[in-house]
Structure formats: structure tokens, C-alpha cells
Chain A
Amino acid sequence: MATVSSTPVDGGNSPHGTGFAAGEYSVTTDNSKRRKLYSRLFYLLCVFISALSVVVLGVLLVSIGWQGHSRLTSDLLQNSHSELNPDSAGMWPSIVGSIFICGICALSALPLGVGTAIFLEEFKPTSKPLKMLHSFIQLNISNLAGVPSIVYGLLGLSLFVFMFNVFGRIQVNESSGTELFGVSHYYQVLSLAGGGHTVLIPQDDESQATISVDAPIQAVDRDGKKFELAIWDPKSGTPKPSDPEVRQRTVRKGQVGGAYSETEWYYLRLPFGKSFLAAGLTLSLVILPIVIIASQEALRGVPPSLREASFGLGATKWQTVRNVSLPAALPGIMTGAILAMGRAIGEAAPILVVLGAAVAKNSGPQNLMDNVVTMPVLIFNWAGRQQAAYQELAAAAIIVLLAVLLLMNSVAIYLRQKMRVG
């Protein structure tokens, strides 16, 4: 087989094109004329249909460029989606969101995928039951590659967003489930200082949403320092404290405060809810089969002589993998990983299922449990609207998305080329 793949096939088929010029064949019957005509026609058909895909790509790029070029402004990159003012709407939060989701996706899918590929390629079992398990896993991976991404989205919805309802359901605008860390609950009470200055009182009972302050109580300031909150009762006749420092630490008697939670970036709760962590993990399920198959191809391409040399030096299997096979296969794995990431950036259906179609968000994610907008979801939302302004915005956003993808793909092609030479 090596001879077939190493020599280009077209090198051997000179009998097309000029090879069929009249007079080269001594026998020219009607039949052979007809056959040559068919061959000629088929060749033309091939050229025509193959050129069609280039034409389609051209039409696609030109039409989208034509539709969207007027909106390729700095507004597009800096602003966020706006319902009231489509003329200055932009896609900045979605760019940040896409990057974050792809980060989660890469962190979870790449180690898992490469690990699986190493297990399947480098640790070939010898006993019969293990061999069966091995081929079953292989079959399973090929089947997973064919599962529609929207089904992965539903899996992500059940598994990450609701966790099969083991921890209770996520409710809108309400902290629910089991909160693990990264969050502090407070009541927020207006102090005497005015100007919207508030003090925070640690919340003991999380089911209680409001508090009414009647007696001095422990509170914390914005830096997290504890202090005793003073009370000023207007009915007692004592004058309002004049010192602004004191006024900041004093509230009117009977003042009511609402619940308020402060989250750190690592805030984690179970189930994950409609969060960007859930979306990233769902996407990693989508691209996992792609990563595995690409890494397997790359590992298969490493010459066995390299491994044998390593074994001959007394290295164990894992040492061989770590020091020989993996470095040798790395360019191929990187190429596959970048292509998979490109797929992840463009994928909208699973994210739509996990996070919903809402796009009103004016910043990137603040913590792991924050909602997020991605570029394809934003494009889907804009493209589905009737107003011309949003249609143009969708085209402009597509141009940005395609530019990002083109960049990634050219990096992948560059890596592949480099690998082939080396």
C-alpha cells in the first residue's frame, strides 16, 4: 500500500487531456469515438462540478461581505447587543464568551481525548476479554462521532445543568442547589451616609430574603472587615451623627435590607445551572470524538522503530509514550486539537440548548456559574430577526467569526506542513 499512497495517482494517468488528441489511436471506430467522447464529457462534468464548490464558496463570502461590510466598525467589536439601538450594537461579550468557553473546552477535552487515544493506540491488550473491550471502546468512539451535536446539547442540559435533578432544580433568579465555595451571602442595608452607601450584614439564614435592623449588629465593610453596626433612632430625639465616618457605619432604626450575594470568580455550585462551565463541558463532549480520532491518527503515524529503540534502551511503556511517541505525534495532535477548537467555536446548537437563546449580556462571564453569550448564538439570534439592521449585524459578526476560524485553520495548516517536512 505504501507505493500507492506515496506516488500521486495522477502521475500514472497520462491518457487524459491531450493524450486523447485525434490520431494517437490507430483504430478509430464509431464505438471508440463515442467512448472517447463520453470520457471527454465526463471529464468536463468533473471539472464543472468541482468548480461549483469554489463558486459556492465565492458566492457565500461575497454575499456575506456585501451584506456586512458597512457594519465592520469599532462599535461592532466594542459594544454589546442592544435591543433598543441596533445601530450601535456590537459583539464584544460574545467574543469574550466564545474564548472562555473554548478555554473550558480545551482544558477538559484535550487531556481526556489524548489520554484515550494513547490508551487505545499504545497499550494494545493481549488477553481476549481486554481485546474485546478495546474494540468496543473503538466502536463506541466512532459511533459517538456520529451523534448529532444537539443530542450532546441535551445530554449537557441533563448532566451539567440539572445533574439529573439530584441536587434539586436550578431556578431563575434564585440561588439554589448546593453551593460549594466562592460565594458569600449578605443583606444589604442603606446607611445614613446617603448617596446609596450601603453596609453588608452576613446572612445566616439563606431562605430569609430580607432583614429589618432594630438592634446593633455585626456587619462587614467592602474590604471584608467586621465592625459593630450602630443604630440611630429618629424618634429618640438624638441628633443625626454629623461625622461622615460614623454615618457610614450607622443605619436608621427599622431599616430594611435585601439579600445580596458576592461571588468570587471560582464560585461553584451543584448543579451547574445555565452557566458557561456547563456549556464548555458540553462542547467538550461534542469535540471529544474528533480529538480522540485525530490523536489516534497522529500516534499511528509515529514509526514503530522509534518505540522499539526506546524499549531496547530499557524504557517502560509509559516512559516510551511520554518521551518518544507523544513528542513525535505532537504536531499531529496539535493540528487535530486546533481543528476541533475551530469546530467548538462555530458550534451553536449545543450551547443554544444548554444556555438558551438569550443574548442580552453586556460583559463576559464574571464567575464560573455566570451566563454567557457566544458568537454563533449571537449570530443565530440576529440572523433570525426581521429588521435589516440586525441582518447586517449578523453578516458583520459572521465576518468576524470567519476571520477567527481562518486564523485558526491557517495555524493548523502551518503546523501540518511543518510536521510533514520534519
Chain B
Amino acid sequence: MNRPTALVNKKFRSTGIGVVQEKAMVVLLAVCALMTIGITLGIIVMLISESWSFFQSKYVSLGSFLTGTEWTALQSKDIEKAQFGIWPLLSGTLRVTMIAMLIALPCGLVTAIYLSEFASNRVRAILKPTLEVIAGIPTVVLGYFAVLVVSPSLQFLSGGGFDTFNATSAGIAVGILCLPMVCSLSEDALHAVPRALREGAYGLGCTPFETSIKVVVPAALSGIISAFLLAFSRAIGETMVVALAAGTRATFTADPRQQSQTMTGFIVEMIKSENEYGTVQYFSLYAVAVTLFVITFGMTLVGQLIRRRYQEVYS
């Protein structure tokens, strides 16, 4: 084929440098992207290697860690008497998280339904920024709010039935924290449901209530559930609120009026106690962190699986 010389002889100076530049940029960007995998690897290596030192210690065993119902890592001066059973911390975390979910999930979902199905533009213009402001409030502020307002009002309402630091006030604050997240993610999911479904429902004579609950919410269910799971793992990993408001005694009960040290609360307490690097107590914080990481990582993975597997595709 008879092509112009300019196309046959492609060794222009500019393209020569350009190709190299292009390759270099791609490599640079790829390194950035691979860095994120490096972070995950770093987390896993760190957790395994440091908690290895914990389980290697002669004072603890994996079995008693997983089944023990007493956690006295910081209370007992004597390392031989210290008990390392994860259940008090786990139950503390679950108590706080459950209370938070009882507040955040229904309220968040209802607010999302209201925003996407009912709200006029004017109401939305007030409500959405409000939720964004709540989402932007630092968690340490909500922890202070729990200590300053929620806990005293609970004590006032119950006539002193609650401890000063208790699972309920921490749970309420964590619930307030998770609400905007549940709301905005569920609203995205609800928003993605095509109008045709709603119009079909109205056409069949459904009331707005029936349309939202029986048609729109089921259609958006995968998105809503993954929003719920995200909120759940956020609540489990929440730190500053529980460090301020939940108390520092690890209790193994179901009573939400008592103190309850959570996993993250223990990590903060441990850091504050300034135990020296290398002691069993110090390494116990990594064992707690592994538990925390496994739970939240599992939650996010399940959430993504649900989102991918059960997502309804409308096109």
C-alpha cells in the first residue's frame, strides 16, 4: 500500500518522547492504585504479626480468648491473674451496636422513603443539608453530646436506673451518627427505582403507603440491605463515642443500663494506659483489633455480595 511518508516514518521526536511519557504516567498511576492493595496487605500483615506475639504468650491461649467471659487486661496488676476472654468486649460492642441500629435503621429508612417519595422540594432543601451536617459532625462531638445530654436525661427519665456511663447513651449517639449514612445510601437505592413501577402501583389503585412499602422498598431492597450492613460495620468500628460514653468496665451482660466496654473502647483505654510495648496487655490490643477487623471486613464483603448478586437492573 502506498502511504504518505509521514505515516510510514513515524519516528517523530514528539511522539517518541510522548510514548515514553505516556508509559511513565501509566506506570505512575498504576503504582498509586497498587498502593491501595499495599495498604490492605499492610493491615493484614500488621494484625497477624502483632497478634501472633499475643497468642504466643504463655498467659493466653486461643481457646480461652475465643470462649472466655472475663476481660481484665488492664484492671489486674498481675499478668498471671489477667483474663483475656473476648466475649465481654464483644457483648459490649453488640449492645451498643444493637441500640444504635434500633435507632438508625428504621429512622434512616423512613427518612429516606420520605425524602424520595413524599418530600416537596422545600422540605428536601431543609432536610438534606441537615442530614449532611449531622454526617459531618466529628464523632468526638457526639460522644460529648452523649455524656452531656443523653446520659443525664436517661438518668432523669429512669430515676437513676442508668449508670453514668452506659451502653444506651453511647448507642443512641452512635445511632444518630449512622442515621445520615443509612438515609443517604437508602435514598440512592430508592431513587434508582424507575418511576414506571410507582406509576404502575398508583395505576392499580395503591395508596402512597402501599406503593412505598410494597413496591418501591422491595425493588430497592439490595441497596437498602447493603446500606444497613455498612451502617452496622460503621457502628461496630465507631470509637470516640464509646470511648467517652460507654464506660471502661468490660461487662458480660445483656443489660443496656450498665457500663459496657467495647472493642474500640478497649483499644483507646489501652493506648491511654501507656502500657509499654512488648507486654501481653499491649499485644492484646492487636488481638482485639483482629476481631474487629474480621467482623467489619466480613460485613462489607457480604454487603457488596448482596449488592452485586441481588441488584435489580433496570434499563
Is B39 a contact partner of A285 (Cβ separation < 8 A)? yes
Is B118 a contact partner of A154 (Cβ separation < 8 A)? no
Question: Within residues 135 to 184 of chain A, which ones have a CB less than 8 A from any CB in chain B?
Answer: 136-137, 139-152, 154-155, 158-159, 162, 164, 169
In the complex, residue of chain B having the shortest beta-carbon distance to the beta carbon of A408: B136
The digit string for A332-360, where 1 denotes a CB below 8 A from any CB of B, is 00000001001101111100110011000
Most chain A beta-carbon neighbours within 10 Å: one of B26, B198, B239, B304: B239
From B26, B130, B289, contact of A154 by CB (8 A): B289
In the complex, A194 has a CB within 8 A of chain B: no
Q: How far is the CA of A148 from the CA of B118 in the complex (A)?
A: 34
Is B29 a contact partner of A123 (Cβ separation < 8 A)? yes
Q: Flag the segment in B63-71, B207-215, B252-260 that touches A.
A: B207-215
Is B22 a contact partner of A316 (Cβ separation < 8 A)? yes
In the complex, residue of chain B having the shortest beta-carbon distance to the beta carbon of A46: B114
In the complex, residue of chain B having the shortest beta-carbon distance to the beta carbon of A112: B32
From A59, A139, A158, A318, contact of B26 by CB (8 A): A318
Contacts A146-B296, A316-B18, A379-B141 given; does A49 touch B114 at CB 8 Å: yes
Is A53 a contact partner of B130 (Cβ separation < 8 A)? yes
In the complex, A290 has a CB within 8 A of chain B: no
Which residues of the other chain, A, contact B50 by a CB distance below 8 angstroms? 158
Q: How far is the CA of A56 from the CA of B183 in the complex (A)?
A: 15
The digit string for B132-165, where 1 denotes a CB below 8 A from any CB of A, is 1110111111111101110000000000000000
In the complex, B250 has a CB within 8 A of chain A: no
The digit string for A22-47, where 1 denotes a CB below 8 A from any CB of B, is 00000000000001101101110111
Q: How far is the CA of A148 from the CA of B233 in the complex (A)?
A: 8
Question: Within residues 34 to 80 of chain A, which ones have a CB less than 8 A from any CB in chain B?
Answer: 35-36, 38-39, 41-43, 45-47, 49-50, 52-54, 56-57, 59-60, 63-64, 67
Contacts A137-B33, A356-B271, A398-B144 given; does A346 touch B137 at CB 8 Å: yes
Which residues of the other chain, B, contact A120 by a CB distance below 8 angstroms? 33
In the complex, residue of chain A having the shortest beta-carbon distance to the beta carbon of B308: A139
Is B110 a contact partner of A50 (Cβ separation < 8 A)? yes
Q: How far is the CA of A98 from the CA of B246 in the complex (A)?
A: 26
In the complex, A266 has a CB within 8 A of chain B: no
Which residues of the other chain, B, contact A57 by a CB distance below 8 angstroms? 130, 133-134
Is A376 a contact partner of B271 (Cβ separation < 8 A)? no
Is A146 a contact partner of B139 (Cβ separation < 8 A)? no
Which residues of the other chain, B, contact A158 by a CB distance below 8 angstroms? 46, 50
Q: How far is the CA of A151 from the CA of B47 in the complex (A)?
A: 9
Known: A50-B119, A144-B36. 11 other contacts (CB 8 A): A1-B314, A3-B195, A4-B191, A13-B202, A49-B106, A64-B148, A116-B33, A376-B138, A380-B244, A383-B143, A406-B133
Residues of A in contact with B (beta carbons under 8 Å apart): 1, 3-5, 7-10, 12-13, 15-16, 35-36, 38-39, 41-43, 45-47, 49-50, 52-54, 56-57, 59-60, 63-64, 67, 111-112, 115-116, 118-120, 123, 136-137, 139-152, 154-155, 158-159, 162, 164, 169, 285, 288-289, 292, 316-319, 339, 342-343, 345-349, 352-353, 356-357, 376, 379-380, 383-384, 391, 394-395, 398, 401-402, 405-406, 409, 413
Residues of B in contact with A (beta carbons under 8 Å apart): 18, 21-22, 25-26, 28-30, 32-37, 39-40, 42-43, 46-47, 49-50, 106-107, 110-111, 113-121, 123, 126-127, 129-134, 136-145, 147-149, 176, 179-180, 191-195, 198-199, 202, 207-213, 230, 233-234, 236-240, 243-244, 264, 267-268, 271-272, 274, 277, 285-286, 289, 292-293, 296-297, 299-301, 303-304, 314-315
Can you offer 11 A-B residue contacts whose CB atoms are under 8 A?
A1-B194, A10-B118, A10-B120, A56-B176, A119-B29, A148-B238, A151-B292, A159-B46, A345-B138, A379-B140, A383-B140
